[in-house]
């Protein structure tokens, strides 16, 4: 029996109680509605020290919604892109307010949260293309956004961690925007469902092994063995010349080994990398930062690392 930190136990209790009031998801739309409903239950007010604004990026044939969290007293500073989780199937800039805002507060810098297209309506490479387009747009519009284009970080949680890693690879391969830092929060990076953490934590309270198989099947249209490293960054043969990384994993998460194996490979490739495993935690634990001491500490540690890497004031 996994031992959870006390605050994580309380968080699990509250979420499971809330889930009993909602229908079990069967379709992608159900997954999205459930995640939106849960985000309303656990919503927190925006701090008075931040301005929050919704905007759109005009991409070819589509609009990409973004939400900008900006410290009110900040002049020209760094920018942190955030890509939300949700298994490539659900999630939005709204459902992940608590993540993006927590990073903005702890790093003391502007965060731009990106609402990329979702599968199955838009399978790979739609989400990765949207995130890379957003990265390029932010770099090209640094003056309009009041940011220093030389100090940009990319990151996200779960599926968003995958997309951040993919953006770092694309920027390197395409000689695109400079990325100063990447942060991956319990990222899903490969379709190997038989790692020790997948086996040991197959029934994480909110992310089972079967959930992950469903998400990957939906995103890749059953092509689990894809050679495309922008879809499954763990498949990348060469991880050299990538931006320094911070990888945060959860002790009892089926995806724990994804993040830690990727971090070890980055280190082997000569990329400065911090790998941090949060004890007594589960997948998605960042959402419990107002309930769990360990979650609050990990968000602070992450923000501190980003702030130092970006030389934020």
pLDDT tens readout for residues 25-48: 889 999 999 999 989 887 888 989
- The confidence score (pLDDT) of residue 248 equals 98
Q: Model confidence over 69-122: pLDDT tens digits?
A: 999 987 789 999 999 999 999 999 999 999 999 999 999 999 999 999 999 999
The verdict on residue 1 lying in a domain is no
Region 264-280 average pLDDT: 98
- The confidence score (pLDDT) of residue 45 equals 87
The verdict on residue 21 lying in a domain is yes
Residue 1 has pLDDT above 70, yes or no: no
The verdict on residue 101 lying in a domain is yes
Which residues have a catalytic role annotated?
158, 253, 283
The verdict on residue 132 lying in a domain is yes
> Structural domain of residue 167, as residue ranges?
6-310
The verdict on residue 26 lying in a domain is yes
**Crossing angle for the helix pair 126-140 and 159-173, to the nearest 10 degrees:** 60
CATH number (domain holding residue 234): 3.40.50.1820
Strand order in 273-278's β-sheet? Answer: 50-59, 62-71, 110-114, 77-83, 147-157, 181-185, 245-250, 273-278
Domain count for the chain:
1
Phi, psi dihedral angles at 81 (to 5 degrees):
-85, 140
The verdict on residue 285 lying in a domain is yes
Structure tokens at 35: 């995640």
- The confidence score (pLDDT) of residue 43 equals 84
| pLDDT above 90: percentage of residues in the chain | 92
- The confidence score (pLDDT) of residue 70 equals 95
Rounded mean pLDDT of the chain? 96
Residue 210 has pLDDT above 80, yes or no: yes
Cα–Cα distance for residue pair 116/64, rounded to 1 Å: 6
Q: Are 188 and 161 a contacting pair, CB within 8 Å?
A: yes
The verdict on residue 303 lying in a domain is yes
């Amino acid at each position: 029996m996994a031992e959870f930190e006390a605050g994580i136990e309380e968080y699990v209790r509250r979420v499971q109680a809330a889930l009993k009031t909602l229908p079990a998801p069967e379709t992608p739309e159900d997954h999205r509605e459930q995640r939106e409903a849960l985000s309303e239950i656990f919503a927190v007010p925006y701090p008075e020290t931040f301005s929050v604004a919704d905007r759109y990026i005009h991409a070819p044939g589509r609009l990409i919604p973004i939400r900008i969290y900006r410290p009110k007293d900040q002049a020209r500073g760094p920018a942190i892109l955030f890509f939300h989780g949700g298994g490539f199937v659900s999630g939005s800039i709204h459902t992940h307010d608590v993540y993006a805002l927590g990073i903005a507060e702890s790093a003391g810098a502007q965060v731009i949260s990106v609402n990329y297209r979702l599968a199955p309506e838009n399978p790979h490479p739609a989400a990765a293309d949207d995130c890379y387009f957003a990265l390029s747009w932010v770099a090209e519009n640094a003056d309009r956004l009041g940011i220093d284009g030389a100090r940009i970080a990319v990151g996200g949680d779960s599926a968003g961690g995958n997309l951040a890693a993919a953006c770092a690879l694309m920027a390197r391969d395409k000689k695109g925007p400079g990325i100063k830092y990447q942060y991956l929060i319990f990222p899903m990076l490969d379709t190997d469902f038989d790692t020790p953490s997948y086996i040991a934590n197959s029934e994480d309270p909110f992310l089972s092994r079967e959930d992950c198989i469903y998400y990957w099947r939906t995103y890749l249209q059953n092509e689990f063995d894809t050679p495309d490293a922008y879809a499954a960054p763990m498949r990348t043969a060469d991880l050299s010349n990538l931006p320094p990384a911070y990888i945060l994993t959860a002790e009892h998460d089926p995806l724990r080994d994804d993040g830690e194996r990727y971090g070890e490979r980055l280190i082997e490739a000569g990329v400065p990398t911090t790998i941090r495993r949060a004890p007594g935690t589960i997948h998605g634990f960042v959402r419990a930062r107002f309930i769990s001491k360990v979650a609050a500490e990990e968000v602070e540690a992450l923000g501190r690392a980003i702030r130092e890497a970006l030389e934020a004031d």
